[in-house]
A and B are shown apart, each in its own frame.
Chain A
Amino acid sequence: MAKATREAYGEALKKLAASNPDIVVLDADLSGSTKTSEFKKVSPERFFNVGIAEQNLIGTAAGLSLAGKIPFASSFAMFAAGRAFEIIRNTVAYPALNVKIAATHAGLTVGEDGGSHQAIEDISLMRTIPNMVVINPADSREAEQAVLKAAEYVGPVYIRLGRMAVEDVYTDSYVFEWGKGVLLRDGKDVSIIATGLMVQEALKAHEILKEDGINAKVINIHTIKPIDRDLIIRAAKETKAIVTAEEHSVIGGLGSAVLEVLSDEYPVPLKRVGILDTFGESGKPKDLLQKYRLTADEIVRQVKEVIKF
């Protein structure tokens, strides 16, 4: 069933409202879109709208955490990670405060709102900050579990969520493991390492490649920081070639993070599927994914390039 990760966030917050009295939720006038409104419905006294003021959103969350609360602060990724970057850096991450930033509407699939609202650099911004955990769930089940786990973890976490409904990658038996990549398909010829909604494209690419006799390993990296170094190194050793795929700039995101690990430990040829150092634009999410080549076909094309080395 297709469902947006932000929907799962709203549902997870409702569960947290019931299970943990220390959870508080803040939003910057986007609660209907970010789904924090779900929390407000069941726990209005613990919900704080700060108005259209993302710097204050994060600073207020920091203060709540200093007085013992576990704040989830939400806005669109552009404004949470972008506009409030320095507050996240200095006031939240520098003292490692227990603040969770759940940013929705990340990536091109914001769609019609266009390039001004499509955060394609938030993973890069967040993962460069010491103490920060960065999570980019692939489907709604993973998103819900990531949110619940983030509430248990003590320290700053950035959770990247999407507007568009995404296909299920997992079934109900899935168990999210903090900081661990997930081997979804095994293979010996190449590894496709994907994150977020590109995981479903990676799985499609796996099937297409199979018809061409190429056996691709598929790995979901939901936790981009701290990254699962062991799994990535093992994939590099076993397949000798890697393609990364993400709905994010090819600069600084998952592709860069994987390259950093491989450069340190076990360099192999690698191709990155992502947004090629350009801004997005208005359009239907599906059309944007096609135009900016965030597709299974593009992953297949890059696989065929990378295995030539």
Chain B
Amino acid sequence: MKYDELKVIAKSMRKNILTMIYKAKSGHPGGSLSAVEIMVYLYYKEMKIDSPIDENRDRFVLSKGHGAPVLYAVLMEKGFISKDLIPTLRQIDSKLQGHPDMKKLPGVEASTGSLGQGLSIANGMALAFKLDKKPNRVFALLGDGEINEGMIWEAAMLASHYNLDNLTAVLDHNGLQIDGKNEDVMTIEPIDKKFEAFGWHVIKTEGHSFESLEKAFEERKTIKGKPAIIIANTIKGKGCSFMENQAGWHGKAPNEGEFCKAMEEMGDIGDKTEGGGYNG
């Protein structure tokens, strides 16, 4: 798939994310919008996933479970779930729970939401595939606030101890968490050196550039015998001017005026204007 086509998908996902959260009147737009290109790249270029139930599929774990709307949006684009679900996010009896629930929605590989647990889950999957000598690979998307959790570092040790080269973590490094900037809440830098010290191969990339993401994932394929993390620099709220780099948009829904403005900014799906979602 060409980058232009991926851009169209990204734009559609952004609009669906905002529509879901606007209709729900709650949800997490900031960290969903920052991960759009990463998710598009994973589901359209990197992972082997033709169906959400195929045994040979690669697995994706959304460790930052509050980014549920971006996962739902990509599953919709892939045709794994219906776009009719858009107005049901966070509503009673919906398959689109506030945080992903694998029992309710096909395509969700693990129920997440309580932070810091997804990397361990991904490790377990990767161990099982290695044990069975299966080619399936495992990908986990981590938030840069989430990695404050100690369990992430327990999992980071395990992944390198067991040489999990079928595991790739992607860090959605948007620099913000609920209470503000990472460095004001809890310093995570030098995050690359930390993972290197834990025995990981570290790749830095620009998380809104498909070209840059492609380079990163291609580099990852050349590394054997160890887990890898792609640290993707992103912009929280990317594609929606008034949300970009604003911690306040971590977990807040747009009102009607804000929603309309955001949708207008993004332009029509399918046109070739930059709209939101691409600066690569």
Q: Is A63 an interface residue (CB 8 A)?
A: yes
Residue among A63, A64, A66, A68 with the highest chain B CB neighbour number at 10 A: A63
Q: List 19 A-B contacts (CB under 8 A).
A: A50-B158, A51-B158, A55-B120, A58-B120, A59-B117, A59-B151, A60-B123, A62-B117, A62-B121, A63-B121, A64-B125, A64-B128, A67-B129, A71-B124, A86-B114, A90-B114, A91-B114, A94-B111, A95-B102
- Are the C-beta atoms of A46 and B131 separated by less than 8 Å? yes
Give the CA-CA distance A69 to B121 in the complex, in Å: 13
- Are the C-beta atoms of B127 and A95 separated by less than 8 Å? no
Residue among A55, A68, A96 with the highest chain B CB neighbour number at 10 A: A55
Q: Is A45 an interface residue (CB 8 A)?
A: yes
Give the CA-CA distance A87 to B128 in the complex, in Å: 19
- Are the C-beta atoms of B120 and A90 separated by less than 8 Å? no
Note all chain B residues with C-beta closer than 8 A to A94. 101, 111
Please tell me the size bucket of the interface on A: 20 to 34
- Are the C-beta atoms of A51 and B125 separated by less than 8 Å? no
Note all chain B residues with C-beta closer than 8 A to A51. 154, 157-158, 161
Q: Is B242 an interface residue (CB 8 A)?
A: no
Q: Mark A30-60, 1 if CB is under 8 A from B, else 0.
A: 0000000000000001101011010110111
Partner of A63, one of B103, B122, B157: B122
- Are the C-beta atoms of B124 and A62 separated by less than 8 Å? yes
Partner of B126, one of A56, A61, A63, A90: A63
Q: Is B248 an interface residue (CB 8 A)?
A: no
Q: Is B110 an interface residue (CB 8 A)?
A: yes
Q: Which residues 95-127 in B have Cβ within 8 Å of A in the complex?
A: 101-103, 109-114, 116-117, 119-127
Q: Is A4 an interface residue (CB 8 A)?
A: no
- Are the C-beta atoms of B124 and A63 separated by less than 8 Å? yes
Q: Is B155 an interface residue (CB 8 A)?
A: yes
Q: Is A65 an interface residue (CB 8 A)?
A: yes
Given contacts A60-B123, A63-B123, A63-B126, contact A55 B151 (CB under 8 A): yes
Which residue of chain A has its CB nearest to the CB of B150? A55
- Are the C-beta atoms of A63 and B120 separated by less than 8 Å? yes
Note all chain B residues with C-beta closer than 8 A to A96. 103
Partner of A90, one of B109, B111, B122, B136: B111
Q: Is B3 an interface residue (CB 8 A)?
A: no
Min CB gap A67→B, angstroms: 3
- Are the C-beta atoms of B158 and A53 separated by less than 8 Å? yes
Min CB gap B135→A, angstroms: 13
Please tell me the size bucket of the interface on B: 35 or more
Chain A interface (Cβ within 8 Å of chain B)?
24, 45-46, 48, 50-51, 53, 55-56, 58-69, 71, 86-87, 90-91, 94-96
- Are the C-beta atoms of A63 and B127 separated by less than 8 Å? yes
Note all chain A residues with C-beta closer than 8 A to B102. 95
Note all chain B residues with C-beta closer than 8 A to A45. 131
- Are the C-beta atoms of B151 and A60 separated by less than 8 Å? no
Min CB gap A25→B, angstroms: 12
Note all chain B residues with C-beta closer than 8 A to A67. 59, 124-125, 128-129, 132, 136
Which residue of chain A has its CB nearest to the CB of B123? A60
- Are the C-beta atoms of A60 and B150 separated by less than 8 Å? no
Note all chain B residues with C-beta closer than 8 A to A48. 127, 162
Min CB gap A54→B, angstroms: 9
Give the CA-CA distance A86 to B112 in the complex, in Å: 12
Give the CA-CA distance A63 to B154 in the complex, in Å: 15
- Are the C-beta atoms of B127 and A64 separated by less than 8 Å? yes
